[in-house]
Structure 1
Amino acid sequence: MPKRAGERHANHYFFIFLFVFVFSSSNGMSNALDDALEKRQPDCELSLGAVVDYTSLAGKKEKVAMEMALKDFYDRTGRLRHNPTLHVRNSRGDPIRAASSAKTLIEKHHARAIIGFRAWQEAVFVAQLGNESQVPIVSLSNEAPPWAFSQWPFLVSAARNVDAQMKAVAAIIQSWQWRQVNIIYEDFNPVANGINPNIITAIQEVDAEINELVALSPFSPYLSISEKLESLKNGQCRVFIVHTSITLATKIFKEASEMGMMGKDFVWITTNDITSQIDSLNASSITSIQGVLGVKSYFSTSNKHFKDFQSRFQVMFRLQYPDGPLPEVGTSTLQAYDAAWAVALALEGNPHSKHSGCLDKRNGQELLENILKTKFEGLTGLFNFSTERKLAPVHTFSIVNVVGKSYRGLGYWTEGLGFSESIHKPSIYNKSMSILGQVLWPGGPWSVPKGWVIPTSHSYRLKIGVPAESTFREFVNVTYDHLGGNPIIKGFSIEVFKAALALLPYHLPYDFIPFAGTYDSLVEQVHVKNLDAVVGDTAIVSHRCEHAEFSQPYAESGLQMLIYIKPKRSQRAWLFQKPFTTYLWAFTGIINVYNGFVVWLIERKHHPDFRGSIRNQIGTMLSLSFTTLFSQQGEKLHSNLSRMAMAVWLFVALVITQSFTASLTTLLTVQRLDPIKVDIETLKNSGAKVGCDANSFVVKYLEVVVGFHRNNIKRMHTEDDYPQALMTGEIAAAFLEVPYVKMYLAKHCEGFTTSGPTFKVGGFGFAFARSSPYLPDISEAVLKVSESGKLQELERSLTSSFKCSTAQLVDNHDSLGINSFWGLFVITGGTSTIALLIFIFHYVRQRCYQPSCDEQQHHSPANDELLMFGPEMENRYQSYL
């Protein structure tokens, strides 16, 4: 096995030697000519330098692109006088070797400018050398910080600023609602200030939290990388942003793959420096990054200029590297081409200069100025430096997903607009990445990773704080067993939390930890990470949100004033009318009069006292109507029709009178409360003392918001303190949150009531650490507990055991209305109407079939009326019946 490895190394060195030999041979004639010119005109040789990493496919592509740029420029412009020689050196990805190569190019080959340095670490080493020699250093790194150009004036960045990519990464995180991320970045030089602050700002703007910042050096051994990744693997967060060079990234992903961190539940996102060179990776490196999401700068591939370059580039690359794979044209390749074109254009910027082609410091400064003045339409867009010595930044990025042997484009992200499937206008933009279609996540495309998991350490359990000194023990009650002194936690809040945990799609181990102190202090323990969460009757108020985030409220919000009033019996003079509503009283009177009229009309011929003057008959009829409610007159009636109407009416009258008696009895015996109103202003102006829970936020709320003097606020420590204090007048009112008020009135209903407005404050919720991965699931579970009816069931069980669980004031007594007796009224009214119609029918029929009917037809109406009420008519009607 070692022998084979040695052979492979020998073959590797042989190919390197062969490559150098071929490269030297291909440039042999030009080098010989250069040597001859150097002997004749040592000060007039015109050469350019390039430093790339030959060990990477990206470096090889950059070399070919720069050679093509110089050839294309002089072929197309016809400017052959300054056609420079390009000397390319291999950095092998080593910043020190890059600096050494640059020094050789400046001192030996008299390079007028040096292009390359894809990695910022390489540019840092060479920048000072460029200052000292006054040779422009044209870097292809887009990671150069703004201050670098003032510190190293001869440093030029030919790559576009891609700081907006951090917003694209943040938009991806926001799309999938991941709350925490780990950032792995390359920390090479302290001068570079470590992590790019733009990524931190972008992550915070989407309300996510950076869980870990892991700095790795490009020289980090695999052991060091493995240790850092192992620490991340043991944590909860499963979202990783890799912001390094491609060289370091390949090491990271190789280790992550071997450690099982490229599987299900893991999310990996790479930035531009890595994503733009994925197509340059070998097969083994591609295999280790399956499922990775990447962000890279966008460039148009549809224009004719690019298509022409692409076809020629692949031919040139195949000629120089016949055994290698045929690569795609990437961003780094295009940037290298544009950078070389810009330098060539700068060399021709002043063809009449007397210093053209001569090596001195004045030419270095002039070349630098010409480079910064160049303006042309390059392969990556308009190449033109601003006053800040920067190219126009990139605002549109491609979103790619590594699948198989390469990657596939999912869509695009544009700053200020969002995600889109197409870059061509018109395009539909969306803030969510979900419009881009299915993503192949590490481990498979079946479901979107949550972005976090329960730590792999089996001993890890959530530390959940509970208030040890809750005023209302029904919500949280902490007791201790007699054996080991272990806490026993019960109460309404605890039951709601357990019901929510039962609905989670995973098991969440936890331990309750009693905390003796104020509720504010308890919530602050979450902020300092002594606790993972707080469960209890914890009110959601603004100043607590500075230390923790709260779940969906599980109890009603509000703050109410509770007062005590001595009860007394009601002695109102008009209490008798309360059993019935006004409409029922009126309708009862109308139906009485109607029934009395029917009976009077039918029976009037049998009773002499029903006759007489009109006034006498009306009085008799009304008397008959109301006496039927209290006496039975069936034996005095002569007609079956009147007996039928009277029987039904007496039944209805019996039901109504009994209902009236029962309702009035209830009103007379129930204790009434004195309707004295207590308001906030009266309490404040009189200097009365008010009480509230000593450990709650209400103390400060009454002082700051409501306006009570602090000396007039009495702190109550137990629930039992309230009744005695209110009844003895020690406090004039108590201020409690709505859930507490309900509980209190369920236990002490006699004499206690609420008064005044309800102040709007937050309800009860569970507090978790900010950006806790458990919080969204807990909030969703609380909503499910409420919607399923389980929460209402727990609330009923909370108060059902107390005697006043449905306490109501007598003022809320419902009077009886027409709806209560509507059926009876229909029956009695209908019966009387039927009796009246039958009576009229028989009366008319008798009149029409009498022997004297023809004679009666000649009588006047006045005679008919006399006849109806006279003795003859009565005798006829009596004989008929």
Structure 2
Amino acid sequence: MSITKFCFSILFLLFINANYSFAAAINVKNNETSQYSLVHIGLVLDLDSPMGSMVDLSINMALSDFYVEHPNYRTRLHLRTKDAEGLLNTNIAVLELMKQGEVHGVLGPQGPTEDKFVAELGGKVHVPVISFTARSSTLPSAQNRYFLRTTPDDSYQAQALAAICQGYEWPQVVILYENTDYGYQFLSHLNKAFQEVEIGIAYMGAFSISSDDNQILKELNKLKEKQTRVFLVHMNSSLGYRLFVLAKKAGMMTEGYAWIITDYLSNFLNSMDFVARDSMEGVLGIRPYVSWSEKLDRFQERWQRNMVVKKSAGSIKDFNVYALWVYDTVCSLAIAAEKIGPVNSSLLYVNTGNNVKDNTNLKISAYGPKLLSELSNTKFRGLSGDFLLINGQLKPSAFEIFNVIGTGEKTVGFWTPDRGISRELSSTGKPTYSTSTKNLKNVMWPGDSVMRPKGWVIPATGKLRVGVPVKHGFTEFVNVTIDPITNHTNATGFSIDIFMATLQLLPFPINYEFNYYNDSNDINWSYDGMLHGLPQMFDMVVGDTTIWAPRADYVDFTLPYSEPGVVLVVKNKKPFDMWIFIKPLRWDLWLAIILACILMGIVLRILEHRVRNANEESIRPRKERLRMIYWSPITVLAFPERNMVANSWSIFVLVFWLFMAFILMQSYTANLSAILTVDQLKFAFSEDYCVGYQEGSFMKEFLKEQLHISESRLKSYSSVEDYHDAMSKGSKRGGIDAIFDEIPYMKIFLEKYDSEYKMVGPTYRTDGFGFAFPVRSPLTSYFSKAILAVTQGSNMTSIERRNFGPGYSSQDPLSSTVSQQTSSLTFYDFGGLFIIVGSVTLFALFCSETSVGRKFSALTALYSQMFFGFISSKLLSRKDDREESRHESIQDAGATSSESRDASIFEEPLSGGEEEICEPGQHNESASAEVELTTINEERNS
């Protein structure tokens, strides 16, 4: 009995306290005394709904708390409430408030989306419409200037969800949303956010509020058969709870699944029943974060007391962030009204002359623009956090990431616009955006699993369908055979070996089967047609499929596993030029070198004659000394170890001559090497050429679109032998003149016919061969990593040799496969040089061994002596005169002897010229002549 009395006493005290609070609020509402200036604000709510009941209580508490804290304020907000359900009734209620109630601000309407009619109406009469539930706007800012949202924009929530999916490395997500305007608006934000982080949306399922359980369950079973296992739910509480109960029934709340809910559902988790809560075990949620404060703690205590008294049909158990947002909104209105000051008649309506009212009898408020301005500049710390409107929207704050565990929730981290994902909120340090989920606390996933779901699985309905092409040639890459009895497809080749090697490196097993393409052996088949079979016919395509930009619009490629590039191959025709060794120097330089040799010989002879060497003159005959003019510049290069000069000035001249000669020789060698190299690479592509390409490949479009080659000059072939036959015929006999194809194919072609063909021109950029998947397939990244490990591993060489032979290597450049014959010099390349040397040799033999030649040689020597003797006498005459004047004291005999010795160098009697030429066949005659000449010289000297 005592316990009953005690409980009754507690309830009585709570009732008295609640009545006191409501009495204070009612006094504020109904205070019409002259000591306060009333500002009329309209309020449109659905009071029978849980949201309307919660908001109404929060507004009353806000008015009561605010004016208790600010009793000296001269203004008071006076709310004129309209109970309206549905869009039409809401619009009528707002219109009546503006028309009859003559309000200067409207709170509401109650809904997640902006009401275009209400927003345009507020702008027309200059009355601010303040929404505490709308999360996005579809009207341009110029048209909804008087529409304010005291909630954060949904675009930030979409960014947070995208960051979470990116952090968990989920390539694709299935979105399940409510089939309403708000659902479509939020979907547009998600699309944009996911595109920025390159996360695909595998499927979008729309559910109507009126959908029955069978319809929802049927849709869930269809989703269960797909690969993606990440589901993002954006629904209201009633539809969302039904969805999760049915998902658990369908077996989709088990290990391997990941479920994420938006704040459209997470804000109402506190009002759900046990069955719905139990079905959401392991769900990851996101909602606006509200930091704890003493003021919030007191608000929660008063809320619980008021909920005991207020038991309307639509009341809810607890409040959520919407109650805090509307609480702060009312406080901001009260602050703005006080800043404007008491309301007088001059501030009520705009005086527009005869048009004070429009055709709807709505007055244009003069108070509304001032209220809008003050609201936009109001800033304070409220229950939900910092209150500040930026461009008519509440400044975004942090989002709380939580995990549903049992009947409770666990906060695992936060997301902020400037820092991204973090374990704890921190305002210190330089903001660095992060999407790493390693910063989050441990998450319990569906099925009581602590392992992060990878986000996708191989469909349980069958094996992975691997498409392979049936080719007529180049079977080194893909060779498909079909068992006629079992119809089983077997595939071998380089591409298949790469595929098998990657399977061993995947972190999970894959059960696959080969499905062939082009079984009818159609010559007009194409890889593009095969790729368009993804994902209807195949789950992936394995083969020598080129990674090409136009194909990336409808498939995803892995990293390449072959060499990239397209090259041009033509016949290896040698140029008909045996005088190529003359080309390094132009004719004027050749002439300059010849003249320089002659002049250098003359200069050396002049310098050397001043050296008085009797022994040398007694040994070397005059004709041999004369021959020095011709050969000394050349012999000094060929025989540098011989002492060919004795005069120091001659040595000085020869040093510079050697310097110039070596520069000329090095330049000649370098230029000749360059000419020979360029001559091999030089190729002029003719517009009349017929070009061959591989059938089924992308080369036809490549040649037409990028190289602008007419389709009439393009011919397709399927094998190496077909290429060779067509090139052998040439375009005049129905063949081709050149081949455009990718490097791996041309390596095989050149290795078989190396001496007959060569690669010319540039290498056109492609990305090589790769495996193809449907767009945003989760398998793409796994296979790319495995391909990278295979191509850089030790098994790559063995795979290449097994399919292409021991001499093949993808690491070698294409030029190494070309025969050495195409880069080696032949006898014909220097045929002209051999002709010159041979001609000179034959001429020397002719002059030496035949009587006619000897006579010709003697006459040539005679006239040469006469010519150079004449020149030398002219050059030395002045020097001889000066010497005679300086040696007048010397005896005439000595002077005469000296002059005779100098003259004997260039002067010889005309008779006996032939006998004095030292030829091999006349050795005895030459020796006797030399002895006789030596005797005469000795007599003269004595």
Deviation at 1:312, TM superposition (A): 1.5
Larger CA deviation: 23-32 vs 241-250: 23-32
- Residue type of the alignment partner of 1:792: T
Alpha-carbon distance in structure 2 between the residues aligned to 1:530 and 1:350: 73
Alpha-carbon distance in structure 2 between the residues aligned to 1:261 and 1:352: 60
Equivalent of 1:436, from 434, 437, 440? 440
Deviation at 1:168, TM superposition (A): 1.7
Equivalent of 2:257, from 266, 274, 278? 266
Deviation at 1:268, TM superposition (A): 1.9
Matched, 1:215 2:209: no
Equivalent of 2:517, from 509, 514, 517? 514
Name the counterpart of 1:224. 215
Deviation at 1:420, TM superposition (A): 2.9
Equivalent of 1:251, from 232, 242, 254? 242
Name the counterpart of 1:319. 305
Alpha-carbon distance in structure 2 between the residues aligned to 1:226 and 1:473: 49
Alpha-carbon distance in structure 1 between the residues aligned to 2:439 and 2:22: 56
Shift in alpha-carbon separation, 1:59–1:409, aligned structure 2, 3 A: farther
SS of equivalent residue, structure 1 residue 555: coil
Equivalent of 1:549, from 553, 556, 577? 556
Name the counterpart of 1:736. 741
SS of equivalent residue, structure 1 residue 164: helix
Shift in alpha-carbon separation, 1:141–1:680, aligned structure 2, 3 A: farther
- Residue type of the alignment partner of 1:554: Y
Alpha-carbon distance in structure 2 between the residues aligned to 1:737 and 1:295: 51
What are the superposed Cα offsets for residues 235-268 of structure 1, whole Å, 9 maximum, x if unpaired? Answer: 2222222223344333332332332222222222
Confirm or deny: 8 A CA contact 1:34 1:45 kept in the other structure: no
Shift in alpha-carbon separation, 1:363–1:345, aligned structure 2, 3 A: farther
Shift in alpha-carbon separation, 1:103–1:266, aligned structure 2, 3 A: farther
What are the superposed Cα offsets for residues 497-539 of structure 1, whole Å, 9 maximum, x if unpaired? Answer: 2343354413344441313545452355146855433221111
Confirm or deny: 8 A CA contact 2:569 2:760 kept in the other structure: yes
Matched, 1:237 2:228: yes
Alpha-carbon distance in structure 2 between the residues aligned to 1:45 and 1:288: 48
Matched, 1:51 2:52: no
Deviation at 1:220, TM superposition (A): 3.5
Shift in alpha-carbon separation, 1:716–1:29, aligned structure 2, 3 A: closer
Equivalent of 1:66, from 59, 69, 92? 59
Deviation at 1:200, TM superposition (A): 0.9
SS of equivalent residue, structure 1 residue 120: coil
Alpha-carbon distance in structure 2 between the residues aligned to 1:782 and 1:36: 77
Deviation at 1:28, TM superposition (A): 8.8
- Residue type of the alignment partner of 2:331: W
Name the counterpart of 2:868. none
Alignment of 1:844-859 (within 5 A): none
Rg larger for:
2
Confirm or deny: 8 A CA contact 2:74 2:342 kept in the other structure: no
Structure 2 unaligned segments of length 5 or more: list them. 1-11, 350-360, 575-675, 811-815, 825-942
Matched, 1:184 2:184: no
Name the counterpart of 1:401. 403
Deviation at 1:291, TM superposition (A): 2.5
Confirm or deny: 8 A CA contact 1:678 1:756 kept in the other structure: no
Alignment of 1:127-146 (within 5 A): 138-146=130-138
What are the superposed Cα offsets for residues 111-130 of structure 1, whole Å, 9 maximum, x if unpaired? Answer: 88664555326968987998
Larger CA deviation: 349-358 vs 763-772: 349-358
Confirm or deny: 8 A CA contact 1:113 1:138 kept in the other structure: yes
Name the counterpart of 2:544. 537
Name the counterpart of 1:120. 112
Alpha-carbon distance in structure 2 between the residues aligned to 1:803 and 1:424: 60
Structure 1 unaligned segments of length 5 or more: list them. 1-17, 302-306, 568-674, 815-881
Deviation at 1:186, TM superposition (A): 2.2
Equivalent of 2:566, from 512, 536, 559? 559
Shift in alpha-carbon separation, 1:104–1:401, aligned structure 2, 3 A: farther
Alpha-carbon distance in structure 2 between the residues aligned to 1:496 and 1:347: 74
Name the counterpart of 1:342. 332
Shift in alpha-carbon separation, 1:255–1:366, aligned structure 2, 3 A: farther
Deviation at 1:317, TM superposition (A): 1.4
What are the superposed Cα offsets for residues 303-337 of structure 1, whole Å, 9 maximum, x if unpaired? Answer: xxxx2321221221121235999988753232011
Shift in alpha-carbon separation, 1:474–1:87, aligned structure 2, 3 A: same
- Residue type of the alignment partner of 2:548: V
Name the counterpart of 1:601. none
What are the superposed Cα offsets for residues 680-707 of structure 1, whole Å, 9 maximum, x if unpaired? Answer: 7524159554433133233444566567
Structure 1 length-normalised TM = 0.64
Deviation at 1:183, TM superposition (A): 1.6
- Residue type of the alignment partner of 2:158: M
Deviation at 1:541, TM superposition (A): 1.9
Name the counterpart of 2:71. 78
Name the counterpart of 2:416. 414
Name the counterpart of 1:761. 766
Number of equivalenced pairs = 673
Name the counterpart of 2:802. 797
Deviation at 1:414, TM superposition (A): 3.0
- Residue type of the alignment partner of 2:58: A
Alignment of 1:534-613 (within 5 A): 534-562=541-569
SS of equivalent residue, structure 2 residue 543: coil
What are the superposed Cα offsets for residues 101-149 of structure 1, whole Å, 9 maximum, x if unpaired? Answer: 9899999999886645553269689879989999865322132423298
Shift in alpha-carbon separation, 1:549–1:152, aligned structure 2, 3 A: closer
Confirm or deny: 8 A CA contact 1:383 1:391 kept in the other structure: no
- Residue type of the alignment partner of 2:198: D
SS of equivalent residue, structure 2 residue 404: strand
Confirm or deny: 8 A CA contact 1:48 1:111 kept in the other structure: yes
Alpha-carbon distance in structure 2 between the residues aligned to 1:209 and 1:799: 39
SS of equivalent residue, structure 2 residue 683: helix
Name the counterpart of 1:696. 697
Shift in alpha-carbon separation, 1:767–1:131, aligned structure 2, 3 A: same
What are the superposed Cα offsets for residues 7-47 of structure 1, whole Å, 9 maximum, x if unpaired? Answer: xxxxxxxxxxx9xx999977997899899999xxxx99968
SS of equivalent residue, structure 2 residue 201: strand
Structure 2 length-normalised TM = 0.61
Alpha-carbon distance in structure 2 between the residues aligned to 1:444 and 1:402: 11
Matched, 1:500 2:484: no
Confirm or deny: 8 A CA contact 1:48 1:87 kept in the other structure: yes
Name the counterpart of 2:164. 172
Percent identity over paired residues: 27
Name the counterpart of 1:861. none
Larger CA deviation: 317-326 vs 62-71: 317-326
Alpha-carbon distance in structure 1 between the residues aligned to 2:219 and 2:687: 67
Alpha-carbon distance in structure 2 between the residues aligned to 1:710 and 1:133: 68
Name the counterpart of 1:595. none
Confirm or deny: 8 A CA contact 2:546 2:769 kept in the other structure: yes
SS of equivalent residue, structure 2 residue 766: coil
Name the counterpart of 2:357. none
- Residue type of the alignment partner of 1:431: T
Alpha-carbon distance in structure 1 between the residues aligned to 2:330 and 2:534: 54
Name the counterpart of 1:160. 152
SS of equivalent residue, structure 1 residue 720: helix
Alpha-carbon distance in structure 1 between the residues aligned to 2:541 and 2:679: 36
Alignment of 1:448-847 (within 5 A): 448-456=452-460, 458=461, 460-483=462-485, 488-504=490-506, 505-515=508-518, 516=522, 517-522=524-529, 524-526=531-533, 529=536, 531-562=538-569, 682-685=683-686, 687-702=688-703, 713-729=714-730, 730-745=735-750, 747-748=752-753, 751=756, 754=759, 758-787=763-792, 789-800=794-805, 809=819
Alpha-carbon distance in structure 2 between the residues aligned to 1:398 and 1:300: 10
Confirm or deny: 8 A CA contact 1:547 1:770 kept in the other structure: yes
Confirm or deny: 8 A CA contact 1:37 1:45 kept in the other structure: no
Shift in alpha-carbon separation, 1:240–1:85, aligned structure 2, 3 A: same
- Residue type of the alignment partner of 2:510: H
